[in-house]
Amino acid sequence: MSKAMKKWLITAASLTVLGFVVFAGAMAALGFDFSKISTIKYETNTYEVSEEFDKISIDVDITDIVFARSDDESCKVVCFEAEKVKHSVRCTNGTLTIEMTDDRKWYDYIGISFASPKMTIYLPQSEYTSLLADTDTSNIDIPESFAFKQLEIKTDTGDVDCMANVSDIIKIESDTGDIDVSSVESGCDIDIKTDTGSIKLTDIFCTNFTAESDTGDISLVNVAAVNRICVETDTGDVKLKNSDAEELLIETDTGDVTGTLLSEKIFTAKSSTGDVSVPKSKMGGICEIITETGDIKIKIK
């Protein structure tokens, strides 16, 4: 390496270090509050709803969504939102509709932001007919204080945490987000799909449960289905703890299938290269488990 090249490299390294020092000093002066260097301004706005409704429809991109009970029997939506990316809240024909309104020009997309938009939906009642939500990266949190007849959620990378009781159907679809459903005891049908996100169900009583995942793990803890549990994964593991159904169909490629069931089953368990260990029962419903290379280890509690 020539002396000139060495000098250039030393100079470049020195400037880089100097840049880090200047940046660290500037951030220290701001108390390391990165929001102070954001070029996108955020504000908190409250949207009040006076009309009555029993259905909720949400269509947003990146806004995290939290549901909460109203403390004054009124409905309001509190949004932490960018000045030029606000939300439309309206009530039409018994449906509360929340959508994103994007007023940005092309040059508004150039900027720095360390904040994340969020909305809290304060609802005056505990029971509603339906909740339909379509998002891109939004996380959605629904506490146990609510009940719906129908719940359908679609998100790309957002996580979904649902503790609400649902009487008819739960349908949740995500690409990479994790899905956690718990405390459902109404006997509804549950249908969940992910690509790489994990699926976890806890303390569930349903009629049928169906889950599909590519690489995400599927965990069932205290899950009882009246008719069928049907699970399919590519590389994700399937874990059952104190769970059961009249019929279980589980299929994976490389994922392991392990856990405990609550009642005896007539097992059909096959693995091309993995170990297989299931009870030798000759009574009960059908439990079919098929995997290519994964292990199968099931016990009866």
Exposure class string for 145-172: b at 16+ Cβ within 10 A, else e: ebbbbbbbbbbbbbbbbbbbbbbebbbb
Q: Which residues pair with 121 in a beta bridge?
A: 67, 77
pLDDT per residue over 11-65, tens digit each? 665 656 555 544 445 445 545 444 454 567 889 999 999 999 999 999 999 999 9
Q: 118-176: per-residue pLDDT in tens?
A: 999 999 999 999 999 999 999 999 999 999 999 999 999 999 999 999 999 999 999 99
User: How many residues would you count in the chain?
Assistant: 301
Q: What is the pTM (predicted TM-score) of this model?
A: 0.84
Q: Which of 101-105, 155-159, 269-273, 277-281 has the lowest mean pLDDT?
A: 101-105
**Residues forming a β-bridge with 223:** 204
Residue 233 is encoded by which pair of tokens?
């994964």
Rounded to the nearest integer, the mean pLDDT of the chain is 88
Pair of tokens at residue 28: 């220290």
